[in-house]
Amino acid sequence: MDADKLGYDSMMMYEEQNRKLERMQDILGYRFVQEDFLLAAITHPSATEGRSVKYSYERLEFLGDSILGAIVAAVAFHRYPDLDEGGLTRIKVALVSGSNLSDVAASLGFADVIVFGSSETGTGKRGLHSALENVYEAVVAALYLDGGLDAANDFVEATLIPKMSLDMVKEPENPKSILQEKLQEGGITPTYKLVETQGPPHDRTFVTQVFAGVQALARGVGRTKKEAESQAAKSALASLGNFPNPLPEKEKVKESKAAIKAERAAAKAQEKAQEKARKQRVRERAKMKKQG
């Protein structure tokens, strides 16, 4: 790449980051002492290709998921003293669902402050839904790291907790809550482990394994970590005879990989076309510069 072009792109990225950092702090109503935490929280992996994972929201998302779960569980526990463990689990799972988090993040204006790389921008930001969910969790972690549990709790209390209601107990159960209730009958809590990440940063696929204690029950594949966990829970329930499973696990993985392969081929073709157009613009600018 042309050195001048590289320098220009770096300068533009720096300006975009500063602008979006300021905007995000305005949205949150919180000024960060360590802005690097917030910058990472709003940075999509596609904007950090070739750099350490610490520069995107992926690690923060992992931490934020746990902190968010603990905050929601504590609120539900104190708010509904007559609910049993199963009811509390259904409320927690429903509230921290991917669709819920992405809806809240979108309503706060997070879509305008996420820093995307050119590879994701070139796809029309088709990963925006999952990015909103991930950024919400990453922001929870960034607030926790910068301002402690109180800062994270204040954010969750103001943005997500108002959506909590007793009606969530009556919502159709999802595979994760069903599996948790079933295993808890035997005193076991299921745990989920991300075992594989496939594809480039702008087109990720996740493979998650669910465990009962140290025993691996099943794997799940999804375009988001939560989707992969849900699929893993569904497969585990199918193996235990408590949930419909139309496809064997191997066939589901094959089907998913085939769809992913086709999507990647289309994305690659689009990226090539965009790169060709970019080079043409560079040549045209150089030609105009010479003529001028």
Q: Catalytic amino acids?
A: 65, 137
Both tokens of 287, joined, read: 């030609």
The alpha carbon of residue 48 and the mean position of all alpha carbons in its chain are separated, in whole angstroms, by 16
Q: Within 10 A of 197 (CB to CB), how many other CB atoms are there?
A: 14
Q: List helix spans (H) across 162-205.
A: 175-184
Bridge partners, residue 194, by sequence: 208
Side-chain half-sphere CA neighbours of 142 within 13 A: 30
Both tokens of 172, joined, read: 């159709």
Q: Give the C-alpha separation, 141 to 37, whole Å.
A: 8
The length of the chain is: 292
